[in-house]
Amino acid sequence: MQKVFSSRRDFLRTAGLGIAYTMVPQFLTCSKSIRKEKLPNIIIIFCDDLGYGDLGIYGHPTIKTPNLDRMALEGQKWTNFYVAASVCTPSRAGILTGRLPIRSGMCSSKRRVLFPDSAGGLPESEITLAEVLKTKGYKTACIGKWHLGHLPRYLPTKNGFDYYFGIPYSNDMDDVSKLPWKQKFWNPKTEYWNVPLMQNEKVIERPAEQTSLTKRYTDETIKFIKNNKNNPFFIYLAHTMPHVPLFASKNFQNRSLRGLYGDVVEEIDWNVGRILRTLNDLKLSSNTLVIFTSDNGPWWLTYKELGGSAGLLRGGKGSTWEGGMREPAIFWWPGHIKKGTITDIGSTMDIFTTICKLTGAKIPDDRIIDGVDLRPVLFGTGPSPRKTIFYYRGTKLYAVRKGSYKAHFFTEPGYGKNRKVKKHNPPLLFNLEQDPSERFDISKEHPEIIADILETVKKHKAKLVIGENQLEKIIKK
């Protein structure tokens, strides 16, 4: 059984907060390429509701993403990379803590994400990537959508980030328009949603002027890079887009053949290009790891053309089909990462562990960390240690991937009225490497694989401590 911390301060004290740069050498990574070098800067660019198939290099026919395509060609394009959950809040808890959201209580089957009336947030006992990087002397910024609790005690500045600039929850919340659903989203205006834009702990604009958010987030990112070019820095840039309502700035409106959704993705692409150019111009690219991915699959099930595409993958946002949880993922670190397409399995939770290893930061050892160390894949020295993906929907385990095989115990559409949970006994079984679209159930042919997956589930559940549910807590009026 894991110990449960009452406060993460205990860990951070042990890990040497305030004694950064004095860590003993064995804490440093074994990777030859960065040993004795400066600590690498880290930038995570995390989109919102971007689909597996929405980038040129991932096969979209009409969305043009030349900057991301180039980033992928200069780095690693992962094709089996997963998020921790198929909706915003739990997915974000996963990437920032390296832990399945069920452990932190950041998922629920009823209220699947936090809302403006939510009273909960990421528990203080959880340790974020920003916090572990602070122990190594990093300057840290969270720029963009947070969605891990908007009450003062849950804000990014209380979670290891020196700086915050962004919106505290989704851009479709605080709906103040009286317009019909269709008109509102198909012809959106920024004033329909009274979403606050915050800087550190203050609201600086309300409603947030959404058409300029992608650009402004990038401006803030570039400013933070420039101001900290002599420090190691960590920037978590969590774009608000392409989550509905979709907003592009004037230069990008009506530009893409794909329509508004394409405009928005092409604006993100262009702004990723600005960041990479800044790193090159400042001669920081050889010392900066940039990771691009998204929080969950595309929302086409509800928003049709306004939602993205999961490409050849089945389903989308909210579901435990591949389209809900497999994402584009690009790792870029010129001169360090072995270029190529990576078919190994990875997870956003592994970013936590890998970065700890890369920087020599201590990985919390008093709790289960689900992330694994992806350095062998990044540096081309070995396979991914990750073999298993748990697909939770809320607090219920719907499916498990082990190696090439995925068993579905339950399936349910991501969104939609009158949807029903289907229980599968025996579970559906797909070979994802051969059948990535999850079309051909092979459960009858392979009972032994199902038995093995069930054994894995049993072991997983035996050690599972479910965190106190944060998503059902409502502000009392």
Residues within the interface to a second copy (CB under 8 A):
53, 56-62, 64, 73, 79-80, 257-259, 261-262, 300, 304-305, 309-312, 341, 343, 404, 431, 433-437, 439-440
Residues shown for the chain: 477
- State the alpha helices, DSSP H only, in 327-385: 348-359, 375-378
The sign of the torsion formed by the CA atoms of 413, 242, 375, 313 equals positive
**Coil, strand, or helix at residue 66?**
helix
Q: Which residue of the set 88, 107, 142, 356 is catalytic?
A: 88
Q: Which of 173, 124, 172 is nearest to 152 (CA)?
A: 124
Q: How far is the CB of 374 from a second copy (least distance, A)?
A: 17
Q: Which is nearer to a second copy, 295 or 344 (CB)?
A: 344
Token pair, residue 227, equals 């101001």
Cα–Cα dist 231/238, whole Å: 21
Cα–Cα dist 171/193, whole Å: 7
Q: How far is the CB of 371 from a second copy (least distance, A)?
A: 22
CB 444 within 8 A of CB 429: no
Q: Tokens 């394409």, residue?
A: 262
Q: Which is nearer to a second copy, 224 or 300 (CB)?
A: 300
Q: Which is nearer to a second copy, 28 or 442 (CB)?
A: 442
Strands 41-47, 288-294: parallel, antiparallel or unpaired by DSSP?
Answer: parallel
Q: How far is the CB of 166 from a second copy (least distance, A)?
A: 29
Token pair, residue 162, equals 């020196």
Q: How far is the CB of 59 from a second copy (least distance, A)?
A: 2
Q: What angle do CA 31, 37, 41 make, to 5 degrees?
A: 90
Using CA atoms in the order 365, 367, 372, 375, what is the torsion angle rounded to 10 degrees? -30
Q: How far is the CB of 106 from a second copy (least distance, A)?
A: 28
Cα–Cα dist 134/120, whole Å: 24
Q: Which is nearer to a second copy, 235 or 310 (CB)?
A: 310
What is the residue type of 10?
A: D
**Residue 477 burial (CB count, 10 A):** 4
**Coil, strand, or helix at residue 7?**
coil
Token pair, residue 446, equals 């392979």
Q: What angle do CA 349, 355, 360 make, to 5 degrees?
A: 135
CB 347 within 8 A of CB 384: no
- Residue 147 catalytic? yes
Q: How far is the CB of 55 from a second copy (least distance, A)?
A: 9
Q: How far is the CB of 58 from a second copy (least distance, A)?
A: 5
Q: Which of 373, 430, 439 is nearest to 400 (CA)?
A: 430
Q: Which residue of the set 147, 150, 239, 243 is catalytic?
A: 147
Q: Which is nearer to a second copy, 5 or 186 (CB)?
A: 186
Cβ contacts of 223 within 8 Å, gap of 6 or more: none
Q: What share of residues in the chain are helix, strand, coil (percent, to 5)?
A: 30, 20, 50
Cα–Cα dist 355/348, whole Å: 11
CB 112 within 8 A of CB 120: no
Cα–Cα dist 297/285, whole Å: 29
Q: How far is the CB of 319 from a second copy (least distance, A)?
A: 16
Q: How far is the CB of 457 from a second copy (least distance, A)?
A: 24
- Residue 88 catalytic? yes
- Residue 271: CA count within 13 A, CB half-sphere: 29
Q: Which is nearer to a second copy, 74 or 472 (CB)?
A: 74
Q: Which residues are catalytic?
A: 88, 147
